Chains A and B, each alone.
Chain A
Amino acid sequence: MTRQAQRGQRVLVVRCPAWPPGDAPDRAAGPGPAARPAGQAGSAGTAGQAVPDARAFEQVIDAAERFSPRIEVLRPGICAFGARGPARYFGGEDELGRLVAEAVTRLGFDCGVGIADGMFAALLASRDGLASVLIVPPGGTAAYLAPRAVTVLGEPELADLLARLGIRTLGEFAALPASEVANRFGPPGVLGHRLARGLDPRPPAARPPEADLTARIEFDPPLDRAEQVVFAAKALAGQLHDRLSAAGLTCVRIRVEVARSDGSEITRLWRHDGLLSDLAVAERVRWQLDGWPGAGDRGGDPVDDGGGTGGVVALRLIPDQLVHAQGRQLGLWGDAAISDRVARAAIRVQAMLGHDAVRQPVLVGGRSPAEQGLLVPFGEVARPARPAGRPWPGRIPAPAPSTVYPVPRQAMVTDQAGALVTVTGRGLVSADPARLSVDGGRPLAVTAWTGPWPVTERWWDPEHACRKARFQLVAADGSAWLAVVSDGRWLIEASYD
């Protein structure tokens, strides 16, 4: 559905040469700055002497917003919007282009307007159509691009390489087989090749009007059979997907909210990534209904089969984290190949317990054992802030403990005389540890110990700074512990058994 929408995309680009390509890269403009016309419309403040403020371009955006509510600003000086709808409303592309150009010129800026299939061709057309309107007819993009030099792709290295191979125009480049281009030139080559063939690497996407994209349905009378709700969910998902693809957007996750007549409501977030079909969304709604414990609270009775707890009164599908549709088919579950069977089992448990209940561990860098394991909810991609495999001075040496308590356990470590063992500011132990009691349990004799390993963390940050000392302790029953003492309080962080 998205692909089709992309294929039929007509894009209108407005280019005002008063704002030359500055720091922001302008792929289509090529290496040289766009030519500034001599006959700059002499209007107050913007006459040829200086480059106008980027904020001044807001006026142009305002002008363009009269033609389409969704304007994408590529950089100050260039903005674009989908031309299909506006063209129909304003009486054809010729008329639309003329009106837009007129509106911008009236503000005192010279402008070029280009309309073509896709952003790249439209950008070039806006340059060619300076002080006029240039329309590349639908399907004519490849022919329009063919005679152009490969340098317009804005990839100097690629252009250089192609020129040395005797390929000087986009037409010649487009004639190469796509697979060979991918082999020989890599990702920049593939992108350039798509552009040269008149395909669009990305549809225009605009500031997303988020509230509008929620798909909701109310049931009156309430539905008491899951089948009916799932059926409605499928249609609702279709609506949502249509709206998203019309906006050139996709969502990373989808939030499903189900409300029942007894006032209870269950909300779940599902990974979407633009890869779920209407049916797949409906299936997730079904799992969510199946996983709804009768009491409305997790951990209660087994699943109630729908009798007596009230029907479903409303269903809402809310796209979460909108992103521009890339048309890319990433592995849904990250890099590791996860079989459907595993994914289904994991998602089923997520439906029962919540998105965060099923996790996948990732190793990250850190000093203490608790910092070294990051638990990522299943279906999300981990982006650890502290990658593993880098040196961490003060890291607890291997072997790693098998048991790392999420909440450290209370402990008492005493010496022969029964006094609490403490560590001085200079890192000296008050006495040899002799007894260890965990969680107020029976004291065990300490047979071996080592420490203190002083830790001063985040000394630069008075709020989070902490001074503590770690010990490894072996008790008489053979158990080995990682303990930490801070301000005279002992905690067990991990166990090595």
Chain B
Amino acid sequence: MVGGLVRAGREIGPGQGPVTGADLLPVLPALADLLPHGAFRRGSVVATDGWSLLPLALAAGPAASGAWCAAIGVPEFGVAAAADAGLDLERLLLIPDPGGNWPQVVASLLDGCDLVLLRPPGRLPAQARRKLEATVRRHAAVLLVAGDWDGAQARLRVTAREWLGIGAGHGRLRACRVQVAADGRGDWSRARSRWLWLPGPDGSVSVADGVAPGADRPEPGWLEASAG
């Protein structure tokens, strides 16, 4: 009886009812401002615009807080970049090629991992997609999709990007200033946007607010120090 009630409560899903700490999966501090409650809501599906450092950085926070993470369908996963961004490699499973029955692979891993990072190898029919979303809610996990997902509660996109430290034939890639925008349904209906160092000079992710994009801006100290 009680079990049934708890189960029913779980099935309500994100966007409804009060949020407690147990419902949340923390992200890196630099990314917290982009998300309602400053964290992932368990049971939700969040999408990004394709594979990049952004989904990798989003996965770093949960892994750092002790959650297990699985990355499915990303054979080109940058291991060094993940480590630099703060992703704990000891809590990461990689399934580079999930094969034709990939929804089953995703469902199996949702059972074991708190966060599943998926680049869908193909498009799912709506029914199979909803079944997978129900699995996400049942296991109170988070499905982070690097690509299109019709049922996603939210979508994070890189809207502007600027590499620093590199010129025409001199310097090198040192850091990237990136504008990330987030919007979606429910909790996410208020659109948010932040400037981030993604990555910063040491590969980590930090907030780049206070530095307006454009030609006349003060260069960060580390750029001047390393010039020439």
Chain A residues packing against B (C-beta within 8 Å):
293, 298-300, 302-303, 335-336, 339, 341-346, 348-349, 352-353, 357-363, 369, 372-375, 378, 397-406, 429, 432, 448-451, 472, 474, 478-480, 494, 496-497
Contact = CB atoms under 8 A, between A and B. Distances in A.
A429 B75 CA distance: 32
A398 B112 CA distance: 33
Given A397-B172, A403-B51, A342 B99 contact: no
B161 A300 contact: no
Contact of A300 (B53, B89, B100): B100
Nearest to A293: B101
A402 B53 contact: yes
Contacts of B171: 448, 450
B163 A299 contact: no
B108 interface: yes
B99 A299 contact: yes
Q: Which 9 A-B pairs have the closest CB atoms?
A: A345-B112, A373-B79, A299-B100, A478-B161, A400-B80, A402-B53, A336-B90, A399-B199, A400-B81
A349 B113 CA distance: 13
Nearest to A494: B78
Given A369-B78, A402-B56, A346 B166 contact: no
Interface stretch (B22-30, B35-43, B185-193, B200-208): B200-208
B161 to A, nearest CB: 4
Contacts of A346: 93, 109, 112
Contacts of B170: 450
Interface string B79-112: 1111110000111111111111100110011011
Contact of A353 (B98, B158, B173): B98
Contacts, number: 185
Nearest to B100: A299
Nearest to B57: A402
B89 A357 contact: no
Contact of B52 (A303, A344, A359, A403): A403
B162 interface: yes
Contacts of B140: none
A195 B224 CA distance: 65
A341 B113 CA distance: 8
Nearest to B88: A336
Nearest to B55: A402
A342 to B, nearest CB: 4
Judged by DSSP, the binding face of A is mixed
Contacts of B75: 406
A363 B80 contact: yes
Given A298-B99, A353-B98, A497-B161, 16 more contacts: A298-B100, A302-B101, A342-B113, A346-B93, A353-B105, A358-B94, A359-B94, A359-B95, A398-B84, A399-B173, A402-B53, A403-B78, A404-B77, A448-B167, A478-B163, A494-B78
Given A361-B79, A398-B201, A406-B76, A345 B168 contact: no
Nearest to B171: A450
A213 B137 CA distance: 46
B68 interface: yes
B112 A352 contact: no
A337 B199 CA distance: 30
Nearest to A401: B78
Given A352-B101, A399-B201, A472 B172 contact: yes
A360 B89 CA distance: 7
29 contacts: A299-B100, A303-B104, A336-B91, A342-B93, A345-B111, A349-B108, A352-B104, A353-B95, A357-B95, A359-B93, A359-B95, A363-B80, A399-B173, A399-B201, A400-B80, A400-B203, A402-B52, A402-B56, A404-B78, A405-B76, A448-B167, A449-B168, A450-B166, A450-B170, A472-B166, A478-B160, A478-B162, A496-B176, A497-B53
B169 interface: yes
A438 to B, nearest CB: 13
Given A361-B92, A401-B78, A348 B108 contact: yes
Contacts of A344: 111-112
Interface in B136-173: 158, 160-163, 166-173
A363 B89 contact: yes
Q: Which of B78, B113, B162, B166 has the most CB of A within 10 A?
A: B78
